[in-house]
Copies of this chain bind each other. A is one copy, B any other.
């Protein structure tokens, strides 16, 4: 592209350049998908040559994995809002608007179908968004300590169902769910599952 103005020949290094490359990877992933992402376009998008890429990463896979991992936010347990319902809404809002709606979210939706070919990528998504280290079990444990729900109500299914529905909605509708949909998920699915412990035990047959 045309070397535009005065500081057009500014030359970045180190972390600044790495961040620009990571950002370029996320954009490339969301625009053309994992399968079609190329080193050449990533370099062009980052405004650098191909050498800085090959110097730092052995392959496209390494680069993509690194870019996604560095951009996956670590989800700290959210502020205690005083009740499990509002805690859960807060978690789902954060996941929808700060993760899935962010550039890294578009990248994730492009990568999530590559599981069988690139287990490391989906492992990172799984461990950092859906696994027990996620914020959902954290707010549920807090609620159990308060006596708001029964500790036995905290099952893997209840922990994953929220993020799962956000992910599916994002994949199939093209965007994460809005506030109304998140409220419906909490009130019609999560809260019943958390408060129907006794009935569930009966249905399961003990």
Contacts and interface: CB of A to CB of B under 8 A. Distances in A.
Interface of A: 30-37, 85, 106, 109-117, 119, 122, 125-126, 130, 155-158, 160-161, 163-165, 167-169, 171-174, 183-185, 187-189, 191-193, 195-196, 199-200, 203-204
A189 B184 contact: no
Which of A37, A184, A196, A199 is packed against the most chain B CB atoms within 10 Å?
Answer: A196
Contacts of A165: 157, 160-161, 164
Q: Is the interface of A mostly helix, strand, loop or mixed?
A: helix
B188 A157 contact: yes
A158 B160 CA distance: 15
B112 A110 contact: no
Contact of A161 (B36, B189, B199): B189
A113 B114 CA distance: 9
A28 to B, nearest CB: 12
Nearest to A29: B113
A203 B191 contact: yes
B112 A111 contact: no
Contact of A200 (B34, B111, B192): B192
Nearest to A165: B164
Given A157-B189, A192-B200, A203-B85, A111 B113 contact: yes
Contact of A172 (B125, B157, B183, B191): B125
A8 to B, nearest CB: 32
Given A192-B200, A199-B191, A172 B33 contact: no
